[in-house]
Each structure stands twice: as structure tokens, then as C-alpha cells.
Chain A
């Protein structure tokens, strides 16, 4: 497929895969989900938030999570990171059951994940530079490498001139973008976006969606994308990124060439999975609840 070609043109560290490619094609490993929820239940005090949620995210897939405010979307993300534990059910990351992992074991699992917090959650006593560099510092990366990577990430979110600033000097949207830069440093395999575009202007929101598309199509990153905005959903489920002859990244609409877009939608409804599938099915759905969600009435 086209996307795969673009993929192999990139110097990705995927060469491990080649040796066992033949058997891997139909081995269960290949299709083993990166994130898997099996019948997860969770309640806070007496309030049931998740009541038997099962879903899975394949490698390189983006899962858009919809649901009303307070419906448990952020909770799902916190469960994936192991920040909280489910009451029952299992959570698997890369086939590894993390449900009963203790904190040190979870630390290793979390190394491969990046999370964009809904409220930013920047370290407010550290300048932007140190916030973005945080993970690299913890891994003991060399200083000049850290600086190059931090500048690259900040350029990515168009905030290179805010590098010396403290988080309190930034606007809400700028803080969110720093949060995105911080999550993406170190090239995580799994990226969790918790409403990354809320409160941002349309062009910036679009940039963030493009970023998520690039991660999905060019870097084989699996991601969860929580959002309330239908625009985001449209971008993510109808466009794909390719690298053209000039080596530039281009975004093409679905249907321009043959391509399967690796995005699915999951809707949480009263603690259950209310809908799971492709965007066309969602848009075509006759269910009144889904219709109010998609069309706003």
C-alpha cells in the first residue's frame, strides 16, 4: 500500500521486523493490539464511570474517543497509563497485562507512551525548555542532543521563541502546545491526546490534527485522540499523509488514491461503548443520541 511505501522510505527502526516477516504476516503478534481493554469497570465512590468497556487499538491506528463531558474519556486515558487501576477487567499494553503491575513495572511501560494532558499539567516551576526536556533529562541524554531535540519539538508546535519562558507567562493554547511537545519528545510508540485542540484557533487545531495524522501514517504510532470537535474527527478520518517525490509531507483526501485510513471512532455512552466503527458509519447512524452528537441537534 501507498502508506506502507512511504513508511519504508523513512529510516525507521523497524529492521527487526524483517527477519520474521514471513511468519509474522499471519502470526497473531502482527495483529496483536497495542492497547487492549477487556471488560473494564471502574467507579468512583458509588458513581459508575466505566461499566464493562472493551476495545483495542492496533499498531499504527488512531482511535478517536467521543463522549459527553464527564463521560470517562480522560479516565480511560489514565487507565492506559496505569495512573489509576480498574475495579475489574484487564488492560493490556503491547500484549503485556499491566493491570496488576506495580509502580516500578509501570514506569517501564510508560516509557513508550506520551500523554497530552487536558489541562496541560506543565511543571510550573520549570521553564518551557526544561518541561520539554524533562523525559530526556530523566533518561540521561547528552545536553547538546537534548537541546537539538527540544528545539525541534518546539519548532514543531511553533513555540521556539517561548523557550525561555515560564509556563505562567504563556497563554492557555501555548501551554497546551508545550504539553504536546513534551509528550512527543523521545518518539513514543503510543501517544494519548486528551482534547489537544480544545480552546485553540482553527489553524493551530488543524496543525495538531496534521501532526496526529503524520504520527499515524509515517511513524506507525498508535494513538488515542479524545475530542469534542467534529472538525478534528473529519480531518483524522478522511486524510492521510504521504511523502512525495521531493521528500515533503503531503496530506491527501481519502479517495484521491486507494487508501485505508487507519482511524476508528469509539463513543462512550453511560459507561458503555455506545458506538465503535468508521466515520462513515457514525455519520450515517440513525441513532438519535449519535445524531445529536454529530450534528449538534
Chain B
């Protein structure tokens, strides 16, 4: 295992490539093995990021810049997503609730689904599309134009300088974006209930207030922390393990968005289950 030095250094030290060396190539065709190799790669990147947090130079300015780009930059799309999702939830559920004469609870239904599920997941998916792709593209082109090598040659650890600030910024900003999406979703829902179905806005907001518990809010804030982490880690890993020139950069971007989105959705299920258990929510 001495041959491993970095999850991405100049092609050949790549862990995935280490596997290629250790095992005949045909084994690598096995998707399971490839998956394990990649998981190992990601874990190594994560480990190195955590270790680098303990001491040495930290790049606060870079982290702030990333937070600005991720947070402020993604605000419009996340707000729009939240607003229309809240709106469409009321649009679709109101007739059903009305059928059961529960239309006064439409606020509760939209609040629960938005804050527990749709707010965190949809914001994460939007951010993965906008920020995950940008990170993968940026790091990927830095790899193919040898800028990462140049950075290492100049004595800077790219993990410290590039990976840690991005992941930190995502972890900090995604919960805030999610809250913003939730609020706009509720506003969207209220507007639809009021203008399309003629419900009194006070009835709607009252039902929203009854529907949300502190636990829901906690659950809704814990998820985006994990999602931000997943998006950042996947995007940085895909970007740094880019090979094969400009086509490779395109591939990394696509892979990063697809992989991060899938992991967000899979993780969402398990997180939901874990939070249900830990916070004792989900039961009426």
C-alpha cells in the first residue's frame, strides 16, 4: 500500500489505478470492485480533509468567497424552487383535502412535506446542479491544465486550499438556503390557497403554525448539513480525479451531479428514518 500517496496525484497514484495495478484489468470491469475502489478514494479524500483541519494554514478568505458564491449565488434558484414547490403542493392537495373536508389543514400538509422533505432535498438537488457541477468543472480543468500539480509544486496542499473551503462553505450555506426555500415555499402555498382556492390567509397560516414542530425544524436543518457535505465531497473528488483532457472534465461534471444527486436521495431516506427514530417524529 506504499504506492498510494494521494487520491488524485497525477493519474498513477490514484487509488483506483492502484487497484488496476493490483488486480488484472478485467476485474476492474466489475462494477462492484470499481465502486469499492471509488469509495476508498472518497474516504481517503475525506480523511485528508479532516486531518488538514487540525493544524496548518487555513484559508478563511477562500472559504468566505465560496460561501458568498454558494449562498448568495444560489439564492434565486433555490427561492424559485421553494416558491413553486409550495405552490404546486397546495394546488394538488387542496382538492383532495376538500373532498375529506380537511381543507383547513392544507397549510399543515404543505408545511410538513416542505420542511421535512422537499425543502432540504430540492435545495440540495438544485445546489448539486449549480455548485457541484461548478466545483467539479473548476477542479477538473485545474487538473488537466496541471494547475493542481503546480500548486503542489509550490508547496500548497490542494486539499487544504481547494477542498476544505468548498466543503465547509457548502455545509454552512445549504441549511440557510433550505430555510429560505422553506419560507418561500410556505409563501407560495399561501398564495395559491388564497388566490386560487379562496382560503383565508389566516386559516392557512394558523394551520401551518399548528403543523410545524421544533423537531420538524431540527430535522429539516440536520439533513442539509449532510447533503452539503455529500455534494462537496463528491464534487471535489470527481473534479480532482479527472483524467482525459477536456472530455474528461465534461465527464467529471456529469458524474458529479448524477452521483451527488443520487446519494442525496438515498441518504435522505436513511436520514429520515434515523431522525424519525432519534427525534420521535413522523407519527401523528
Contact = CB atoms under 8 A, between A and B. Distances in A.
B6 A103 contact: yes
A115 B153 contact: yes
Contacts of B57: 138
A83 interface: yes
A83 B157 contact: no
Contacts of B10: 78, 83-84
A17 interface: no
Interface stretch (B105-113, B141-149, B195-203, B246-254): B141-149
A221 to B, nearest CB: 16
A107 B50 CA distance: 18
Contacts of A106: 152
Contacts of A278: none
Contacts of B146: 117, 119, 121
Interface in A17-43: none
Given A119-B146, A121-B147, A124-B147, A85 B5 contact: yes
A108 B156 CA distance: 10
A117 B5 contact: no
A44 B10 CA distance: 11
Interface in B1-60: 2-3, 5-6, 9-13, 20, 48, 56-57
Interface in B173-229: none
Interface in A161-197: 182
Size category of the binding interface on chain B: 20 to 34
Contacts of B5: 85, 102-103
Contact of B12 (A84, A102, A117, A124): A84
A51 to B, nearest CB: 16
B149 A78 contact: yes
A143 interface: no
Contact of A83 (B147, B149, B156): B149
A121 B149 contact: yes
B145 A119 contact: yes
A104 interface: yes
Given A117-B146, A123-B147, A110 B152 contact: yes
A96 interface: no
A108 B153 CA distance: 11
A205 B11 CA distance: 32
A123 B157 contact: no
A124 B151 CA distance: 12
Contact of A138 (B9, B145, B147, B154): B154
A103 B152 CA distance: 9
B9 A83 contact: yes
A135 B154 contact: yes
A111 interface: yes
Residue among B10, B13, B152, B155 with most chain A CB within 10 A: B155
B150 interface: yes
B145 A110 contact: no
Interface in A63-101: 78, 81, 83-85, 87, 100
Nearest to A75: B10
A113 interface: yes
Contact of A85 (B3, B149, B151): B3
Contact of B157 (A81, A107, A111, A124): A107
B6 to A, nearest CB: 6
B194 to A, nearest CB: 47
A134 interface: yes
A162 B2 CA distance: 44
Contacts of A108: 155
B157 A113 contact: no
A182 B153 CA distance: 11
B154 A83 contact: no
Nearest to A44: B12
B155 A107 contact: yes
A134 B151 CA distance: 9
Nearest to B56: A104
A122 to B, nearest CB: 8
A85 B155 contact: no
Nearest to B4: A85
A102 B152 CA distance: 12
Contacts of B13: 84-85
A105 to B, nearest CB: 11
B12 A113 contact: no
Contacts of B150: 115, 117, 121-123
A106 B156 CA distance: 10
A83 B2 contact: no
Interface string A241-281: 00000000000000000000000000000000000000000
Given A113-B153, A115-B150, A121-B146, 14 more contacts: A44-B11, A45-B20, A78-B149, A83-B149, A83-B152, A84-B9, A103-B5, A103-B6, A103-B152, A107-B156, A110-B154, A119-B146, A123-B147, A134-B154
28 contacts: A45-B20, A83-B9, A102-B5, A103-B5, A103-B48, A103-B157, A104-B56, A104-B157, A107-B155, A107-B157, A108-B155, A110-B153, A110-B154, A111-B155, A113-B153, A115-B150, A117-B149, A117-B150, A121-B146, A121-B150, A123-B147, A123-B150, A123-B151, A124-B147, A134-B156, A135-B154, A135-B155, A138-B155
List 8 A-B pairs, minimum CB-CB distance, nearest first. A121-B146, A121-B150, A110-B155, A115-B153, A84-B10, A111-B155, A135-B154, A107-B155
